[in-house]
Structure 1
Amino acid sequence: MTALSGQEQEMVALTAAFVDERVRPRVREFEAGDHYPEPLIEEMKALGVFGLLVPEEHGGSAVSTACFARVTEELARGWMSLAGAIGGHSVIAHLLRTYGTPEQQAAHLPRMADGSLRATMALTEPSGGSDLQAMRTTARLDGGTYRVTGSKTWISNAQHAGLIGLLCRTDPDADPPHRGMGVLLVEPGEGLTVGPKIDKLGYRGVEACEIVFDDMAVPASALLGGEPGRGWVQMMRGLEVGRIQVAARAVGVAQAALAAATRYAQERESFGQPIWRHQSVGNLLADMATRVQAARLLTADAAQRLDAGGRADMEAGMAKLFASETAMQVALDAMRVHGGYGYSREYDVERYFRDAPLMILGEGTNEIQRSVIAAQWIARHRV
């Protein structure tokens, strides 16, 4: 695992301190009522979290993907929703710095770096789920303007985003469909309706909504990179960052659940000794700790490959798959260690158990991840 620079280590440490001193004492204040954590978001802006993947010349810090993953892990350790608040934003920052025209970079990246402009990505459609090539949202070029029609759902930060990275069909007749897709950098305005937030099991505080485009006019200059037909390739590369970020979120939730179980197993006694000394509980802790460390290393490996300039879709898929399943299992085992108290809102483990499923379902379901991993594995090991 590549070591972080001194500046990157400091960023991770500052985030950890923010989580312990500012986030953990206030989570329930926002989470129980599903309230947007505006005060914490403002502190994250000041910390520089929104500019982690923005180049320095545009006001960001341009840390490595490995550092970005560790910062994400720390945020999720405190509250997974805060890590979600920078998820799509960071994917769009990565896409802009990699594919954006100089004009697009200058228009968006400086404000994204300080958090005054928050971005999200719009991929999933109500009828399509993970089948992105079946999307129906279209953008037809009319002179110098795209006319956008369609809908997307499960869009995180939809009510607070000032920029939407919209994957849509710019050439509906293209065969195969992915050759006719583009990413439009859409700013909210006439023709765009953001629906009410979806009432979710977990991942509360940060909204997820359906958004509807009704013949919305978007300038042709908003096409990412300015070259038609490149959107699928661009977004798939962006999702490598997105899946590493989701994996890191899962590691953070799993780490928090493990820490809670570790503390409780030492404080709680039965039959005259701490419960961790009972083999059934001790074995749970051993397996939990092993899984969390393995998930962290898989995530770091995917980040390192991306930082080295290589294709990381298989590695990011592996990290996302394993880390998300780990988070779910570790959260469940933490509840087992706590016994009946794990089912009570008095303890945080019930929240970890509610938050963990999102990482299994989001950024491409784990069933999709397995298909991606299998295809890439065969491609790299052909007989």
Structure 2
Amino acid sequence: MIPRTLFEPEHEAFRHTVRRFLDEACAPFHEQWEEDQRVPREIWQRAGALGMLNATTPEAYGGLGLDRRFSMVAVEEVARAGLSGLSGFNVHDICAGYLINFGTEAQKLEWLPRMASGEVIAAVAMTEPDTGSDLQAVKTRAVLDGDDYLINGAKTFISNGTNCDLIVVIAKTGNSGKGSRDISLILVEADRTGVSKSRPLRKVGLHAQDTTMLFFQDVRVPRVNVLGAEPGQGFYQLMKELAWERLSIGILAIAASQAVLEQTIAYTRERKVFAKPIIEFQNSRFKLAELKTEVVIGQTYTDRCMELILAHELSPQAAAAAKLWCTELYSKVVDQCLQLHGGNGYMLEYPVARHYLDSRVNRIYGGANDIMRELVARTL
């Protein structure tokens, strides 16, 4: 309806490469990955070789030094293909952003090249069993002991939790009582003594995306592992990167919505009820027309937000609105499209059923949508 003008030819060429890789190397095996509850490390390395991991990482640190639109393409294509197990790529990309923007030179050289290649898989240990969106209330603590920190605590819902080699841990390092000033991000190697991982958590959806709890018992790490080497900056670092994280969730939701809508239109053209295709019923056409209109609106907004990202002008509130609108729409699109499939929509052999399982969590992670409403409300 409205042509997209965001991308240049090089972005579309990258899209073609990514799409071919996903269709040939990932889609045929995703069902097995769901059984295994993880994506093989080989796929991470092959994705790294194609530039799908951390495309925006500067060339000096092993990346391609490309603009954020390449990350957007990767997110869109994973969502288009319905390969929810690869959503961990986005978490990995967010971890790279922390290092690129706030890491010391030594930290960048140590981790970014291996992250770009897929040799090292990264995770963010943010949420705790008793702490959700309120990051200032985290209980995991890092206590200075000479030149080291001793870390104790537990984290949950950790994407890439099984595969991860590097963990960006949100922990309290101070006792000022000023909340955000006491928070630091600490780089913790997953093989350090005292780090342990739970079995994969049993989830409603995202079955191929490895998600665990992480436990830290007297984990000793050198103080130079504090991101940026300056404690007390963690909350600021998190807030600076949350705009992209939330926009990327919105991008995923809109791309997935578009894919489900296209699949449903194709289904309703083929499936007949009372001797005529479902799409020939006015109720079906009107529902699909409404969904298409809303998806186009969401796409236009996310594209505009990406333009602001490129100009370093995207506000946290605008990103929150993108996450809120797009993820709510994704759930709506999936629900109505499943209804148009009838009983087949409840069968996992149809993509819409898998989207039904996978879509719901988008309204929770990256900050629950009720928190997004609060952030937008502050602009009133």
- Structure 1 length as normaliser, TM-score? 0.93
Deviation at 1:292, TM superposition (A): 2.0
Match of 1:118 in 2: 121
From 63, 68, 71, the counterpart of 1:68 = 71
Report whether the alignment pairs 1:52 with 2:88.
no
Report whether the alignment pairs 1:227 with 2:249.
no
Report whether the alignment pairs 1:242 with 2:245.
yes
Match of 2:320 in 1: 317
Report whether the alignment pairs 1:266 with 2:250.
no
From 182, 186, 206, the counterpart of 1:184 = 186
Letter of the 1:350 counterpart = A
Inter-partner Cα distance in structure 1 for 2:29 and 2:76: 18
Deviation string, structure 1 residues 270-295 (Cα, Å, up to 9, x no partner): 23332112111111211222222222
Letter of the 2:228 counterpart = G
Structure 1 segments, 4+ long, off by >4 Å, are: none
Structure 2 unaligned segments of length 5 or more: list them. Answer: none
Deviation string, structure 1 residues 188-231 (Cα, Å, up to 9, x no partner): 11011111110011111121111111111011111111122111
Superposed CA RMSD in Å reads 1.8
Match of 1:297 in 2: 300
Match of 1:283 in 2: 286
Tell me if structure 2 keeps the 8 A contact 1:23–1:78.
Answer: no
Match of 1:136 in 2: 139
Give the 5 Å matches for 1:167-206: 167-171=170-174, 173-188=175-190, 189-206=192-209
Tell me if structure 1 keeps the 8 A contact 2:33–2:85.
Answer: no
Match of 2:210 in 1: 207
Letter of the 2:266 counterpart = R
Inter-partner Cα distance in structure 1 for 2:291 and 2:22: 22
**Is the alpha carbon distance of 1:44 and 1:366 closer, same or farther for their aligned partners in structure 2, counting shifts above 3 Å?**
same
Tell me if structure 1 keeps the 8 A contact 2:46–2:118.
Answer: no
Tell me if structure 1 keeps the 8 A contact 2:185–2:227.
Answer: yes
Letter of the 2:37 counterpart = D
Deviation at 1:353, TM superposition (A): 0.5
Find the residue that maps to 1:85 and give its secondary structure.
helix
**Is the alpha carbon distance of 1:246 and 1:56 closer, same or farther for their aligned partners in structure 2, counting shifts above 3 Å?**
same
Deviation at 1:32, TM superposition (A): 5.0
**Is the alpha carbon distance of 1:56 and 1:192 closer, same or farther for their aligned partners in structure 2, counting shifts above 3 Å?**
same
Deviation string, structure 1 residues 109-131 (Cα, Å, up to 9, x no partner): 11111111111111101001111
Deviation at 1:99, TM superposition (A): 0.9
**Is the alpha carbon distance of 1:307 and 1:2 closer, same or farther for their aligned partners in structure 2, counting shifts above 3 Å?**
farther
Tell me if structure 2 keeps the 8 A contact 1:126–1:152.
Answer: yes
Deviation string, structure 1 residues 335-381 (Cα, Å, up to 9, x no partner): 11111110112212110100001111111110111112222x24xxx
Tell me if structure 1 keeps the 8 A contact 2:320–2:372.
Answer: yes
Inter-partner Cα distance in structure 1 for 2:68 and 2:325: 19
Report whether the alignment pairs 1:90 with 2:66.
no
- Structure 2 length as normaliser, TM-score? 0.94
Alignment length (residue pairs): 376
Match of 2:260 in 1: 257
**Is the alpha carbon distance of 1:39 and 1:106 closer, same or farther for their aligned partners in structure 2, counting shifts above 3 Å?**
closer
Match of 2:373 in 1: 370
Letter of the 1:225 counterpart = G
Match of 1:381 in 2: none
Find the residue that maps to 1:184 and give its secondary structure.
strand
Name the stretch that deviates more: 297-306 or 238-247.
Answer: 297-306
Deviation at 1:300, TM superposition (A): 2.1
State percent identity of aligned pairs. 31
Report whether the alignment pairs 1:151 with 2:154.
yes
From 20, 23, 26, the counterpart of 2:23 = 20
Match of 2:11 in 1: 8
Deviation at 1:59, TM superposition (A): 1.7
From 333, 336, 351, the counterpart of 2:336 = 333
Letter of the 1:226 counterpart = A
Inter-partner Cα distance in structure 1 for 2:376 and 2:69: 21
**Is the alpha carbon distance of 1:102 and 1:2 closer, same or farther for their aligned partners in structure 2, counting shifts above 3 Å?**
farther
Find the residue that maps to 2:321 and give its secondary structure.
helix
Tell me if structure 1 keeps the 8 A contact 2:268–2:340.
Answer: yes
Deviation string, structure 1 residues 293-321 (Cα, Å, up to 9, x no partner): 22222222222212211243112111111
Structure 1 unaligned segments of length 5 or more: list them. Answer: 379-383
Deviation at 1:6, TM superposition (A): 3.0
Letter of the 2:214 counterpart = I
Match of 1:79 in 2: 82
Inter-partner Cα distance in structure 2 for 1:35 and 1:228: 33
Find the residue that maps to 1:154 and give its secondary structure.
strand
Tell me if structure 2 keeps the 8 A contact 1:80–1:253.
Answer: no
Deviation at 1:180, TM superposition (A): 1.1
Inter-partner Cα distance in structure 2 for 1:160 and 1:119: 8
Inter-partner Cα distance in structure 1 for 2:96 and 2:228: 13
From 329, 345, 349, the counterpart of 2:352 = 349
